[in-house]
Amino acid sequence: MTNNKNLLLVSSGGGKNFKLANSLKKLVDSAYPISTKIINLELYNLPLYKPGINTDNKVAKGLSQEFENSNAFIFCAPEYNGGSPPILTNAITWISITTNNWRDCFSGKIALIGTNSGGDGLRFLASFRSQLEYLGTIVVPKTISVNDKKEFNQDSAKRSLQSLIDLL
């Protein structure tokens, strides 16, 4: 692994999953020579994508650029209604339509998925893995799940992060 790799930590919001993203960033920054950046999707204020909408959106293009410039991702989001939160789905949609090929920002890149949800978040972890793999992303097998009954496990997180780093 070289130190010219970029890891983008993507939080679906500013609450518990942003805290999870920050905890993971600290672990990466303390152990690996890799550039890290956290983004909070709430701050992008993207309009809801729908067919026929004007796709010349500077905010969406800026978000796409963040993804395009990254070699790997860590996604931190809660489970919503048994799947991905709408803000994450909307962001992925905008990213996929603002590049030359809809998979450009994801194909061949590495991802780790984490969640801080009301429950175990397994439906989100499974459905989002499927979506990322469809986009061409290599998803680390081990995920990170935190909730009110299951605290953040630093040792387990380090093992998951090592799996991500090993693939870079």
Which CATH number goes with the domain that contains 110? Answer: 3.40.50.360
Find the domain containing 95 and state its range. 6-167
Residue 71 covered by a domain: yes
Structure letter (DSSP) for residue 46: P
Residue 106 covered by a domain: yes
CA angle 58, 60, 66 (to 5 degrees): 105
Please count the structural domains in the chain: 1
Mean pLDDT of 139-145: 98
Residue 1 covered by a domain: no
Q: pTM value?
A: 0.96
How far apart CA 161 and CA 166 sit, in angstroms, is: 9
The pair of structure tokens assigned to 119 is 């429950």
Which of 87, 82, 102 shows the shortest CA–CA distance to 17? Answer: 87
Q: Judge whether residue 1 has pLDDT over 80.
A: no
Residue 94 covered by a domain: yes
Question: What distance, in Å, lies between the first and last C-alpha atoms of the chain?
Answer: 6
Q: Which amino acid is at 110?
A: I
The pair of structure tokens assigned to 63 is 């978000």
Structure letter (DSSP) for residue 99: S
pLDDT class of 147 with cuts at 50, 70, 90: very high
Task: Give me the pLDDT at residue 145, please.
Answer: 98
Tens-place pLDDT, residues 45-83 = 999 999 999 988 999 999 999 999 999 999 999 999 999
